[in-house]
């Protein structure tokens, strides 16, 4: 049954699927892979109820290709995958980023590389989410740490992708995906939805890649009377291929500037007790939950700890880290990888605070006690 | 009786990138005459391609056009057709794009019988990357990556696609351009998945290496080796060795995918309404 307003017990993957429909998702293409499969299963059931479409494609690349096609035809679109599938999707992610086609790509992280441990959590895809496809490209990466947050953040993912015409990677982890928690589903009238900018000029005046002040070009739906060309080749404002140096450079620079323009509007961070923190934690995903407990335990023991919980990983929330680094003695960065965002925290801290990583890569989540011990060390 | 089809071209994008003697312009002309003969509105046509020489065609066409990644045109087209089943979605692809890297998408689109028309410009070679052998390069032919002769057997793409479930499969050549146009028109008019293999010439990268130095030599080869299906039916297997059949090779009626999905939506919405009641 479709989610109605009210309080429900939901699984993370279920919240992802239902939140996406609430956000306006009307086309999903996917391929079965653990631990993301429930998203596809839910959407196969629910999408047709709202007149949306679901298709199980022959592979991961076909799935992302299909959602880009559907988005060009005007449908809010999404695919979902996990580790090995995410590697395969990189081709399409680059195409969507370069052609500025809104879409959401869910990656439920599991232990890698390669097949790894399919049923166990990890946070090893953070750098791949940012740089997995070739070439400079804008991308936005959001990361929920609870089931309720999955529901609200996936709605933001769609809104951001539509508003800025940038693909959004929704980076979950196996724990958040499979745990069940309370979700307060809002009434549909309370959910703010954003649509992509569409052309305001007549078709013969339309320049598909000419952007205005906000650097986001208006996007026409295929079949709406605006006949235009979309290519993964480097293109000029008309959408046609170019190899002229000034035009090649102009596109790269506009896309970069667009990402920077979007950054303050797409950066979501929760701060817990950071104002007087002597030691801070920077955490995301399921690890942020253990970090919050570690902060409370530290405070109970007289250690002034605080937490920067990043819900946006890319663009990296450098400002938040910099502000905390000005006061705190040290920042601990627990991650279920060998140290990925710890390097970004170091960069943003710029020597103001000591930065210490905490890695766990044995297919088990990081515990509050491990983080607390690290807080005491630094 | 070639109808003028320049109104479908983005003439400002000419000259095109194809080499002198390339058959792709003839095949593209056949595609446009087919569209013209069906009286399709430009806005309702969406042309999708992958990567390679043939895949540059959509850039010259005044439709909704999408030039995608290597091999994936049919997958992108599947999303478009699902989102807007009312569009006529046509994939223009080459033998490397469709039969190698995109082979899986090709057979699965045929299996689903989704309403997409695919025209494969088969020039037996990777032209864009200057002459490597493809899954359609004849055994024994020379290519830059088969300097001792190709030891692989090519697909019969039409048999493959028909076996996978397509509603309409046909083969034509650049030499038989009028027939080709008629076959493509019937393909586009087919409700389910339709496939036309268009044998075309690449004198630059295939012909020169394989004793066919000019486009004329290659067109003559097409004329001499093509056998219309009716004539082929009366020939023995021995007589057909080294030849290929042209014309309609397979037609069948099966439910089209987006229509089937429309029925899924109806069922799901009915169930939802009953649960609410």
> Is the CB of residue A82 less than 8 Å from the CB of residue A107?
yes
Residues A254 and A280 in one domain: no
Contact B67 A61 (CB under 8 A): no
Cα–Cα dist A30/A136, whole Å: 26
CA distance A357 to A343: 9
- In chain B, residues with a C-beta closer than 8 Å to the C-beta of A92 are 69, 72
pLDDT in tens, B65-124: 999 999 999 999 999 999 999 999 999 999 999 999 999 999 999 999 999 999 999 999
DSSP element (H, E) containing A345 = helix A341-349
Alpha carbons A59 and A35: distance in angstroms, whole number:
16
For residue B198, give the DSSP letter.
E
Residue A1 placed within a domain = no
CA distance A333 to B200: 60
Inform me whether the pLDDT recorded for A204 exceeds 90: yes
pLDDT of B2 higher than 60: no
Q: Is the pLDDT score of A110 beyond 60?
A: yes
A69 and B76 within 8 Å at the Cβ level: the answer is: yes
Residue-range domains of chain B with CATH = 6-276 (3.40.50.970)
- The answer to whether B87 contacts A73, with C-beta atoms less than 8 Å apart, is yes
In the prediction, which pLDDT does B276 show?
82
Within a domain: A37: yes
Q: How far is A61 from chain B (nearest CA, A)?
A: 8
State the residue range of the domain holding A69.
Answer: 6-190
Q: Is residue A328 located within the same domain as residue A347?
A: yes
- Residue A318 gets the label, from left (phi > 0), alpha (psi -120 to 50) or beta, of alpha
Residue B43 has pLDDT above 80, yes or no: yes
Are the beta carbons of B82 and A71 separated by less than 8 Å?
no
pLDDT tens by residue, A114-164 = 999 999 999 999 999 999 999 999 999 999 999 999 999 999 999 999 999
Q: How many CB atoms lie within 10 A of CB B139?
A: 12
Mutate to test the interface with B, among A3, A42, A64, A65 (most CBs of B within 10 A): A65
Place B1 in a pLDDT band, splitting at 50, 70 and 90: very low
Tokens of B122: 């088969």
Q: Which residue of A has its CA nearest to B13?
A: A240
pLDDT of residue A1: 52
Counted domains in chain A: 3
B65 contacts A228? CB cut-off 8 A: yes
Nearest-Cα distance to chain B for A86, in Å, is 17
Q: Is B78 on the interface with A (CB under 8 A)?
A: yes
- CB of B72 within 8 Å of a chain A CB? The answer is yes
Given a cut of 50, whether residue B207 has pLDDT beyond it is yes
Partner-chain contact A222 B68, CB within 8 Å: no
**Domain boundary residue among A266, A283, A298?**
A266
If you search the block for the tokens 């905390």, which residue do you land on?
A324
Percent of chain B scoring above 70 in pLDDT: 99
- Dihedral (Cα; A31, A35, A37, A40), 10-degree rounding: -90
The alpha-carbon gap from A68 to the nearest alpha carbon of chain B, in Å, equals: 7
Residue A212 has pLDDT above 60, yes or no: yes
Q: Are residue A71 and residue A170 in the same domain, yes or no?
A: yes
pLDDT value for B116:
99
pLDDT digits (tens, 9 = 90+) for A82-98: 999 999 999 999 999 99
**Residues in chain B closer than 8 A to A135 (CB atoms):** none
Q: Looking at A250, A266, A282, which one is the last position of a domain?
A: A266
Give chain A positions within 8 Å (CB) of B267. 48
Inter-chain contact B67–A57, Cβ cutoff 8 Å? no
Where does the pLDDT of residue B4 fall: very low under 50, low under 70, confident under 90, or very high at 90 and above?
A: confident
The mean pLDDT value of chain B amounts to: 97
> Do A41 and A183 have their domain in common?
yes
Residue A3 has a pLDDT of 67
Three-class secondary structure assignment of B7-73: HHECHHHCCCCCCCCCCHHHHHHHHHHHHHHCCCCHHHEEEEECCCCHHHHHHHECCEEEECCCCCH
């Amino acid at each position: 049954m479709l989610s109605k307003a009210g309080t429900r017990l939901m699984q993370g993957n279920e919240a992802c699927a239902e939140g996406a429909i609430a956000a306006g998702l009307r086309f999903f293409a996917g391929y079965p892979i653990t631990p993301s499969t429930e998203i596809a299963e839910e959407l196969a059931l629910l999408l047709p109820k709202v007149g949306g479409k679901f298709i199980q494609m022959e592979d991961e690349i076909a799935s992302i290709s299909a959602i880009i096609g559907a988005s060009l035809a005007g449908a809010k679109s999404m695919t979902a995958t996990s580790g090995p599938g995410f590697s395969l999707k990189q081709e399409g992610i680059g195409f969507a980023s370069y052609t500025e086609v809104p879409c959401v790509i869910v990656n439920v992280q599991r232990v890698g590389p390669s097949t790894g441990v399919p049923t166990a959590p990890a946070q090893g895809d953070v750098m791949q989410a940012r740089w997995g496809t070739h070439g400079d490209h804008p991308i936005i990466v959001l990361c929920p740490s609870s089931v309720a947050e999955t529901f609200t953040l996936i709605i933001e993912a769609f809104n951001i992708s539509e508003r800025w015409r940038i693909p959004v990677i929704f980076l979950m982890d196996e724990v958040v995906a499979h745990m069940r928690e309370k979700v307060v589903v809002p009434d549909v009238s309370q959910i703010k939805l954003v649509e992509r900018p569409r052309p305001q000029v007549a078709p013969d005046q339309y320049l598909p890649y000419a952007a205005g002040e906000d650097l986001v070009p208006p996007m026409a739906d295929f079949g709406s009377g605006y006949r235009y060309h979309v290519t993964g080749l480097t293109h000029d404002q008309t959408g046609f291929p170019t190899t002229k140096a000034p035009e090649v450079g102009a596109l790269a620079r506009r896309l970069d500037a667009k990402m920077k323009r979007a950054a303050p509007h797409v950066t979501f961070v929760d701060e817990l007790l950071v104002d007087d923190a002597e030691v801070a934690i920077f955490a995301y995903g399921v690890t942020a939950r253990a970090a919050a407990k570690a902060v409370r335990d530290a405070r109970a023991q007289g250690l002034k700890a605080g937490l920067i919980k990043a819900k946006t990983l890319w663009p990296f929330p450098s400002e938040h880290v910099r502000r905390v680094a000005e006061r705190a003695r040290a920042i601990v960065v627990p991650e279920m990888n060998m140290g990925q965002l710890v390097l970004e925290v170091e960069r943003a801290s710029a020597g103001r605070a000591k930065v210490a990583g905490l890695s766990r890569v044995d297919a088990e989540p990081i515990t509050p006690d491990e983080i607390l011990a690290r807080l005491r060390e630094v | 009786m070639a109808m003028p089809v320049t109104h479908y071209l983005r003439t400002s994008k000419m000259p095109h990138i194809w080499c002198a003697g390339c058959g792709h312009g003839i095949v593209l002309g056949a595609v446009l005459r087919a569209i013209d003969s069906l009286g399709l509105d430009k806005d309702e046509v969406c042309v999708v391609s992958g990567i390679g020489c043939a895949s540059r065609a959509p850039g010259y066409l005044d439709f909704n056009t999408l030039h995608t990644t290597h091999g994936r045109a049919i997958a992108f087209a599947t999303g478009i057709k699902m989102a807007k089943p009312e569009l006529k979605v046509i994939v223009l692809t080459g033998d490397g794009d469709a039969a190698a890297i995109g082979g899986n998408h090709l057979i699965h689109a045929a299996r689903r019988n989704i309403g997409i028309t695919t025209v494969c410009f088969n020039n037996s070679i990777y032209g864009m990357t200057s002459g490597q052998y493809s899954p359609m390069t004849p055994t024994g032919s020379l290519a830059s990556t088969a300097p001792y002769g190709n030891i692989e057997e090519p697909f019969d793409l039409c048999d493959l696609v028909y076996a996978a479930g397509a509603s309409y499969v046909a083969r034509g050549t650049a030499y038989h351009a009028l027939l080709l146009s008629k076959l493509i028109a019937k393909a586009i008019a087919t409700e389910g998945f339709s496939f036309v293999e268009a044998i075309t010439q690449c004198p630059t990268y295939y012909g020169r290496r394989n004793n066919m130095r000019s486009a004329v030599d290659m067109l003559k080869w097409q004329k001499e080796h093509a056998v219309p299906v009716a004539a082929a039916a009366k020939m023995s297997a021995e007589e057909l060795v080294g030849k290929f059949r042209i014309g309609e090779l397979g037609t069948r009626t099966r439910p089209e995918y987006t229509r089937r999905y429309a029925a899924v939506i109806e069922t799901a919405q009915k169930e939802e309404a009953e649960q609410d009641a």
